[in-house]
Amino acid sequence: MSLTPGLTFREKYVVTSEYTAKHLGSGSVEVLATPAMILFMEHTCRVNIDNFLLENRTTVGTHVDVYHVKPAPINSEVMIEAKLLQVDGRKLIFYVAAYWGDKLIGYGIHERYIVDKEEFAQKIK
C-alpha cells in the first residue's frame, strides 16, 4: 500500500491528569489541554504513517493550524481522526479532528515531512 490522499487513521487516547490544561500550564482547569490535543493529533499521524515508510525513515512535524472548540474532561476518551489530504514529495498534509464521543472538540491541518533518521540526527550535532 502506498501513501495516497484519502488514507484515514484513528487512534484513541484517555485524558489523564498529565494531559490537562492545569498540569501543562496552558490553563487552570482539569480539561484536555490544547497542547495535549495537538500531541495526540501529531502522534496519530506519525505512528500510522511510519507503517508505510522504510525502517530508516520517519516523519517530523513542521506545521500545525488547529482550533480547539470544546473541552473534554479528565478521564474521558478522545478519538483522533487524521486524513491524508496531500502528498507533495516528502511533504504530507493532513486534516486532523478530535472527538469526545460524538462532539467535535478540535480540528485543523497538520503537516509532516518524511526524513532519513540518520541524516536528520546529523543536523543536531
d(CA 42, CA 48): 10
Q: Do the Cβ atoms of 80 and 72 come closer than 8 Å?
A: no
What residue ranges do the domains of the chain occupy?
A: 8-122
d(CA 93, CA 100): 23
In the chain, how many H helices and how many E strands? 3, 5
- Using the structure block, give the residue that is written with the C-alpha cell 550535532: 125
Please name the amino acid found at residue 87: V
In this structure, whether the domain defined by 8-122 belongs to CATH 3.10.129.10 is answered with yes
d(CA 76, CA 125): 40
The pTM score is 0.95
Sequential pLDDT tens for the chain (125 residues): 689 999 999 999 999 999 999 999 999 999 999 999 999 999 999 999 999 999 999 999 999 999 999 999 999 999 999 999 999 999 999 999 999 999 999 999 999 999 999 999 999 88
Sign for the CA dihedral angle at 84, 59, 21, 18 comes to positive
